[in-house]
């Protein structure tokens, strides 16, 4: 295509675009947008003044202690398959991508020998009691912002309870299951 022809075609496109814009503007002048003063079809909405809004549903993790009392260790072993790419649960198990998890329930956080933890987990206080494990396994990155554990979490409370029951069993002297008083305390804390 020679230059002149190209210019003609280009001019054609430009003109078309200009016309389209002009047409649009013109239509706005002829039929201006209007805000209706009120709904064309008023709808009666009953506003109940006495009821207060329901509290927003509590975001997980759901309480765990009551579920732990009836947890199924065998089912926990199955759920633990989601962890075995990175963790060993047996006594003397080596650190892999994640630390060995023998005797992890009630252990200090970030305390397995020879494992290089994230700064985030290292700086975290406290031990892995049932509730800490529940919160961590629900959503690791929410509980420990900056953790190296690349795992989305276990959304079902039963899965977490079964798994924690299995973790508990992987110890020389498993710690006590939650008492009725522990369960009651957790339930009332959750209700507030
Ligand atoms: C993709 C690898 C990966 C998977 C899958 C994984 N983890 Fe981890 N886990 C890690 C890493 C890495 C760390 C160290 C985290 C850090 O340093 O922030 C960790 C840390 C932990 C800790 C803290 C240990 C300590 O000594 O403080 C626990 C408990 C844990 N994982 C449990 C689990 C369980 C239970 C599962 C399965 C539901 C699981 N993890 C799945 C990689 C993984």
Does ligand 1 come within 6 angstroms of the Cβ of 98? Answer: yes
Indicate the pLDDT class of residue 166, thresholds 50, 70 and 90.
Answer: very high
Instruction: Give the total number of structural domains in the chain.
Output: 1
| Domain assignment present for 145 | yes
Instruction: Give the number of the atom of ligand 1 that is nearest the alpha carbon of residue 121.
Output: 18
Average of pLDDT values for 161-166? 98
Q: Which atom of ligand 1 is nearest to the CA of 133?
A: 29
Query: What's the confidence (pLDDT) of residue 27?
Result: 65
User: Ligand 1 pocket, 168 CB below 6 A?
Assistant: no
Does residue 106 form part of some domain? yes
41, part of any domain? no
Nearest-angstrom CA–CA distance, 51 and 91: 56
Mean pLDDT of the chain: 86
| Separation between Cα atoms, residue 186 and residue 180, nearest integer Å | 10
Does residue 119 line the site of ligand 1, with CB under 6 A?
no
Within 13 Å, how many C-alpha atoms sit on residue 43's CB side? 2
From atom 40 of ligand 1, which residue's Cα is the shortest distance away? 83
Q: Is residue 27 part of a domain?
A: no
Q: How far is the CA of 27 from the centre of ligand 1 (A)?
A: 63
Identify whether 50 is part of a domain.
no
Q: Are 91 and 102 in contact (CB under 8 A)?
A: yes
Is 124 a domain residue? yes
How does residue 146 score in pLDDT terms, banded at 50, 70 and 90? very high
Please say if the pLDDT value at position 174 is more than 70.
yes
Q: Is the CB of 147 under 6 A from ligand 1?
A: yes
pLDDT in tens, 68-122: 999 999 999 999 999 999 999 999 999 999 999 999 999 999 999 999 999 999 9
Handedness of CA 100, 102, 105, 111 (dihedral sign): negative
Ligand 1 contacts CB of residue 178 (under 6 A): no
Q: What CATH number is associated with residue 167?
A: 1.10.760.10
Q: How confident is the model at residue 7 (pLDDT cuts 50, 70, 90)?
A: confident
pLDDT in tens, 55-64: 555 567 999 9
In a domain, 168, yes or no: yes
Instruction: Decide: helix, strand or coil at residue 127.
Output: strand
Residue range of the domain that includes 179: 65-191
Distance 66 CA to ligand 1 centre (A): 24
């Amino acid at each position: 295509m020679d230059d002149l022809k190209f210019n003609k075609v280009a001019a054609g496109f430009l003109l078309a675009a200009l016309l389209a814009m002009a047409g649009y503007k013109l239509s706005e002048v002829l039929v201006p947008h209007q805000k209706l003063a009120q709904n064309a079809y008023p709808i009666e909405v009953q506003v109940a003044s006495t009821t207060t809004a329901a509290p927003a549903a509590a975001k997980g993790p759901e309480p765990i202690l009551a579920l732990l009392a009836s947890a199924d260790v065998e089912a926990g072993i199955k759920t633990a398959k989601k962890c075995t790419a990175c963790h060993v649960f047996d006594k003397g198990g080596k650190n892999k991508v994640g630390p060995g998890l023998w005797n992890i329930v009630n252990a200090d956080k970030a305390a397995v020998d020879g494992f290089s933890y994230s700064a985030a987990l290292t700086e975290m206080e406290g031990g892995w009691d049932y509730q800490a494990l529940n919160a961590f396994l629900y959503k690791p990155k929410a509980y420990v912002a900056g953790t190296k554990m690349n795992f989305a979490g276990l959304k079902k409370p039963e899965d977490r309870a079964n798994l924690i029951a299995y973790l508990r069993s992987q110890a020389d002297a498993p710690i006590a299951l939650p008492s009725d008083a522990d369960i009651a305390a957790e339930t009332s804390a959750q209700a507030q």
